[in-house]
Chain A
Amino acid sequence: MSLLQVTNLHASVDEKPILNGVSLTVNAGEVHAIMGPNGSGKSTLAQVIAGHPAYEVTAGSVTFDGKDLLDMEAEERAWAGVFLAFQYPVEIPGVTNAYFLRTAYNEIRKARGLDELDPIDFYDLLEEKLKVVAWGPEVMERAVNFGFSGGEKKRNEILQMAVLEPRLAVLDETDSGLDIDALRIVADGVNALKRPDSATVLVTHYQRLLDYIIPDVVHVLAGGKIVRSGDRSLALELEKRGYEWLTSGAAVPAGVS
């Protein structure tokens, strides 16, 4: 059974259609990359999976581990094991990273019928996870994303992912704006967290990330639809040729990838 099954998904915001029939199957153990021009609906797809209330699903379905994801609140999806690394992480002044992460971790455990972890045990766990993003403990006393640089915010998303250990991680342009060292840290983090029963969906504009995280499948989203899927050579081709040849419908050459 597939881990994530998106079927003929249509979604709109403020009555404006953005996704026009997306279908996507992600199996456990796989890495998928979603590429596509600006405004094609990549973040929208990610947000619909995560449960953003502003996006209205007008047709289609999304199942996760056989369960109807669209029927669940955002927090219930997190409890079930869905994680979205935001393209634009949100700042929460007044709440420390440590407190935020411990609360998130314990809320998920509670929902799964597990005991909460006390602050000391959680701190031990955190120490391990901080190594994934090559951070010291100081960052845990800062307010969530508040005053973080763009790169720090992205790294913080990976730290959250490392702590929460999701079964499906959707990373929305986590690589954008990162220098090469930060990119490597993010990629190493993602690779380190790979498990046979989990899957990763990477939304990216850059082939560069895919040198570090090898995708099993690459999709091109354009005009709210997946217009092409292929193996990692598709990403290389997109790097060379851009999206033009895929989006100007008539010019799709046969037999590519």
Chain B
Amino acid sequence: MGVAAHPVAPGESRGVAGSLVELAASPEFATGPDWLVALRRAGLDRFAEVGIPTSKNEEWRFTPVGPIGTVDWKAAGESEVVRPEDIAPYLFGHRDWPLLVIVDGVVDKSLSSLQLMPGGATFGSLAGAIAAGRPEVEAHLGRHASPDITPFGALNAALIADGAFLHVPADVVLTTPVQVLHVVTRGAHDAVVAPRVLAVLERGARASIIESFVTLADTRYFTNTCSESVLGANAWLEHVRVQREGSKAWHIGLSRVDQDRDSHYRSFTLNMGGKLARHDLHTRLNAPNIETLLYGLYLTKGEQLVDNHTTIFHDQPNCNSWEVYKGVLAEKSRAVFNGKVLVQPEAQKTDAKQTNRNLLLSDDAKVNTKPQLEIFADDVKCTHGATIGKLDEHQRYYMATRGIGGKTAQALLIWAFAAEVLMEVSVAPVREALEGVVRRQLDALIA
């Protein structure tokens, strides 16, 4: 099952992508419906063509992913047994919330709790939806995050096997969030885990997705994930993404959102794990009167690197986008933020605001932040602001004169900084659970 087994000429395949290309060319990915085989093939061809990006690629300038190419990656082996108590600490909200547990990239039905969904909605395994011939899957999978968007999005397409599928019919409101928990076990040592998530909300539908990435084994692995969210007219979707990978993990994700008129999308992304984590979040505003809210928080220490690249495509008039990403960086950690806002000539009355604020807790921490506003319409309101700073000495002194000194003052100020975005998570039990997660991580950062 070498490279020769698929149509890409050996010369086109970059050496650095070698083991990944070989993996994706394995015969199991040539099975299934034709459209899926074709999608995987397109992903493989694309990835083999572009390979792993180098620092010469502007999109990857500060994020060294080259070392990914030096590992002899394999498919995940036999997963370790995961017990309900192993995953309990990573769950949000109530026990009766629908839960899909994906272990080393494959849905584990016994750990999941997939009760009948209201109003004919579907929530479950992507492999199951493919096998059942669900028309929404064929209609949407790979159509939004098409393989040519990013190199790793192409790789994910090439490796599509399982993941999560959510479908909410028109005017159906899901009153409880659905949870997707990606768990990595020792079985994924030196493996690529490539879950795919597809969420389709028909017109007027409403849902919240809580997606978490966690590990039960602090081993080396590579999560290469991709999600597609499709919002019909007047649909409402909140996507909370909590990345708590292990300290030796690589995590690369692409989230692609397509919105129809009058729809509302909000995302909250918490990044605190991984050796290197990169998330590309693209929202496309395809029709008038759309709102998209992107909130992010990253908390890093050691030599971690977290990279958030967001792109908002303002293609139509009267749409609002609001983006706030904040980071707290300790020790020698690094963060990259790149916020693109593209406003097409027809997108008059666009209101777009972007903010990236960073708090450095050490002299060795570093941030590369770059707004990228490309505006081709004239009647718009677009602003951006980026700051990189330390804790305010005036505030610390003022607090000290009130008896709040040292670490207590530091913790309080950092919490205040982080809480501003955390407050934007709209589901209260999720927000409260996240407060605990963030507080504990902040304690670790200032310890």
Contact = CB atoms under 8 A, between A and B. Distances in A.
Interface of A: 50-53, 73-79, 83-84, 86, 89-95, 99-100, 103-105, 107-108, 111, 143, 160, 164
12 contacts: A76-B405, A90-B398, A92-B416, A93-B416, A94-B415, A94-B420, A103-B408, A104-B402, A107-B408, A160-B402, A164-B402, A164-B403
Contact of A53 (B397, B406, B417): B397
Given A90-B395, A107-B408, A73 B400 contact: yes
Contact of A78 (B394, B395, B402): B402
B3 interface: no
B57 interface: no
B5 interface: no
Interface residues of B, number: 21
Given A90-B395, A92-B416, A103-B408, A51 B403 contact: no
Which one of B395, B401, B420 has the greatest number of beta carbons of chain A within 10 Å?
A: B401
A164 B402 CA distance: 8
B442 to A, nearest CB: 13
A99 B416 CA distance: 11
Which one of B397, B409, B415, B419 has the greatest number of beta carbons of chain A within 10 Å?
A: B397
A108 B86 CA distance: 41
A84 B401 contact: yes
B37 to A, nearest CB: 52
A135 to B, nearest CB: 18
Contacts of B417: 94
A119 B114 CA distance: 40
Contact of B419 (A77, A79, A94, A108): A94
B382 interface: no
Contacts of A84: 401
B29 to A, nearest CB: 49
Contacts of B409: 75
Contacts of B380: none
Interface residues of chain B: helix, strand, loop or mixed (majority): helix
B9 interface: no
Contacts of B413: 92, 95
Nearest to A105: B403
B401 A92 contact: no
Given A78-B401, A94-B420, A107-B405, 18 more contacts: A51-B401, A73-B405, A75-B403, A75-B404, A75-B405, A78-B400, A78-B403, A79-B403, A90-B398, A95-B416, A99-B412, A100-B399, A100-B404, A103-B412, A107-B402, A107-B403, A107-B408, A108-B403
A91 B392 CA distance: 10
A236 to B, nearest CB: 32
Contacts of A76: 405
A73 B398 CA distance: 12
A52 B404 CA distance: 14
Given A86-B398, A92-B395, A95-B413, A74 B419 contact: no
Contacts of A86: 398, 401
A164 B406 CA distance: 19
A95 B398 contact: no
Contacts of A79: 403
A95 B412 contact: yes
